[in-house]
């Protein structure tokens, strides 16, 4: 391993001092440098292959241009991966990088994602978290007390002092269900998971809203045996998921006696992305129409309508808002609309 080239080496070669090198390369226009000196420095830097040490810079400037992302989600669910991608690309375009953190607590009992801020490794934190509940009360107090730039995605915190990006689940569910109702008359059956969360309540309420709007009876609600753990990360190797008995939310849905619970011709609304495909296959119904209250690649093949989750946009919004906070701006709350769409592919078959 060769000796590292430092700013001092460049300075020596250019016949200037390290300060001048810094002013030329970091380009803070606090000092003007003569064109001739600047050229000499740039040449020397290029000749020596100088790459400034960011750890030294961070120590001195007290900023890292890095954002911590607390995400323990099951990334095999494209929703979260897309949000992460939105964050990554936006951060990159704004001169930031993403550091992945877990939500668990480390050695000193401090939550990992807060610790990483206090250790000065990141300038702010985006919390996606392991469930849809959000950070605990202790962590929230630490964030407020230490003034940590902080944005929570899809946590429904309702805390104005914390930054947040949320989805308008209720309006989205209402719109998608209404779209389904507009295509065909029939009873609405709603399939949702077995656990309670603010998100699930909002979606269910939106389905009820749509039935009321249309003047039809409230939905028949079917509770699938799927717990909140389906949302979180793998505690075990997901490799195992695919060789033995299926344990994913999708697989457990098929255990229901679906063709006894719903009738052919029902308008079947599913809380999660991709469920309608499973119900369609499992029941073999030919008259029913389907809606997914979220979407993934497969919704286009099995759901007649679905909610278009703006996951990438949400990731982008998180970064934009966090950077505003890092630069001294206030925390804000953003609520993203969820448009409803018809399946382009199923629509093609109609013609």
Query: Applying CB under 7 A, does 343 fall inside the site for DNA?
Result: no
Number of residues forming the site for a copy of itself (CB under 8 A): 75
Selected from 52, 106, 265, 339, the binder of DNA by CB under 7 A is 52
Quote the CA–CA distance of 46 and 197 in Å, as a whole number: 56
Q: Which two tokens stand for residue 203?
A: 């979606």
SS3 at position 347: helix
- Which listed range, 57-65, 152-160, 177-185, 225-233, lies at the site for DNA (CB under 7 A)? 57-65
Paired sense of beta strands 220-224 and 188-193, if any: parallel
Selected from 20, 22, 88, 321, the binder of a copy of itself by CB under 8 A is 88
- Which listed range, 59-67, 107-115, 265-273, 323-331, lies at the site for DNA (CB under 7 A)? 59-67
Query: Applying CB under 7 A, does 30 fall inside the site for DNA?
Result: yes
- Which listed range, 108-116, 200-208, 217-225, 317-325, lies at the site for a copy of itself (CB under 8 A)? 108-116
- Which listed range, 74-82, 182-190, 208-216, 283-291, lies at the site for a copy of itself (CB under 8 A)? 74-82
Instruction: Identify the sign of the CA torsion 47, 49, 53, 57.
Output: positive
Query: Applying CB under 7 A, does 261 fall inside the site for DNA?
Result: no
Q: How many residues does the chain have?
A: 351
Q: Which two tokens stand for residue 299?
A: 């919704």
Q: Which does 8 bind (CB under 5 to 8 A by kind): a copy of itself, DNA, none?
A: DNA
CB atoms within 10 A of CB 230: 18
Q: DSSP letters along 120-175, please?
A: TS-SEEEE--SSSS-S-HHHHHHHHHHT--EEEES-----TTSEEEEE-HHHHHHH
Q: 310 φ, ψ to 5°? A: -85, 65
Q: Which two tokens stand for residue 262?
A: 């719903």
Our CB check for DNA shows the closer of 110 and 336 to be 110
Which residues are registered as beta bridge partners of 67?
A: 98, 124
CB atoms within 10 A of CB 104: 12
Site track for a copy of itself across 112-131, x = CB under 8 A: ---xx-xxxx----------
Our CB check for DNA shows the closer of 8 and 184 to be 8
- Which listed range, 9-17, 158-166, 199-207, 237-245, lies at the site for a copy of itself (CB under 8 A)? 237-245
Query: Applying CB under 7 A, does 31 fall inside the site for DNA?
Result: yes
* Nearest distance in Å: CB 297, DNA: 44
Query: Applying CB under 8 A, does 75 fall inside the site for a copy of itself?
Result: yes
Inter-residue contact 155 to 133 (CB < 8 Å): yes
Nearest CA to 167 out of 36, 295, 346, 45 is that of: 295
Chain residues in the site for DNA (CB under 7 A) = 4, 6-8, 15-23, 25-26, 28, 30-34, 36-37, 50, 52-53, 56-57, 59-62
């Amino acid at each position: 391993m060769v000796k590292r080239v430092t700013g001092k080496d460049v300075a020596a070669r250019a016949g200037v001092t390290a300060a001048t090198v810094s002013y030329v390369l970091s380009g803070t226009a606090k000092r003007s440098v003569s064109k001739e000196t600047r050229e000499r420095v740039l040449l020397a830097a290029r000749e020596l292959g100088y790459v400034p040490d960011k750890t030294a810079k961070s120590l001195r400037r007290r900023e890292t241009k890095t954002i911590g992302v607390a995400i323990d989600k099951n990334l095999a669910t494209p929703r979260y991966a897309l949000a992460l991608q939105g964050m990554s690309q936006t951060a990159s375009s704004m001169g930031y990088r993403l550091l992945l953190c877990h939500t668990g607590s480390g050695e000193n009992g401090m939550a990992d994602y807060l610790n990483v801020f206090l250790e000065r490794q990141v300038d702010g934190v985006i919390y996606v978290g392991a469930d849809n509940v959000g950070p605990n009360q202790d962590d929230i107090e630490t964030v407020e007390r230490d003034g940590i730039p902080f944005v929570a995605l899809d946590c429904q915190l309702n805390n104005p002092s914390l930054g947040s990006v949320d989805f308008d689940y209720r309006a989205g569910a209402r719109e998608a269900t209404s779209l389904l109702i507009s295509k065909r008359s029939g009873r609405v059956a709603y399939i949702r998971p077995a656990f309670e969360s603010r998100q699930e309540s909002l979606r269910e309420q939106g389905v009820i809203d749509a039935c009321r709007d249309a003047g039809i009876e409230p939905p028949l609600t079917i509770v699938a045996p799927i717990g909140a753990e389906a949302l979180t990360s793998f505690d075990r190797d997901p490799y195992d998921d695919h060789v033995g008995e299926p344990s994913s939310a999708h697989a457990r849905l098929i255990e229901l006696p679906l063709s006894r619970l719903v009738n052919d011709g029902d308008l079947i609304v599913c809380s999660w992305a991709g469920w309608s495909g499973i119900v369609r296959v499992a029941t073999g119904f030919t008259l029913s129409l389907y809606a997914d209250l979220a979407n993934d690649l497969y919704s286009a093949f099995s759901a007649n309508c679905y909610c278009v989750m703006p996951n990438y946009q949400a990731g982008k919004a998180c970064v934009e808002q966090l950077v505003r906070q890092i630069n001294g701006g206030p925390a804000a709350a953003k609520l993203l609309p969820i448009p409803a769409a018809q399946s382009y592919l199923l629509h093609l078959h109609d013609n």
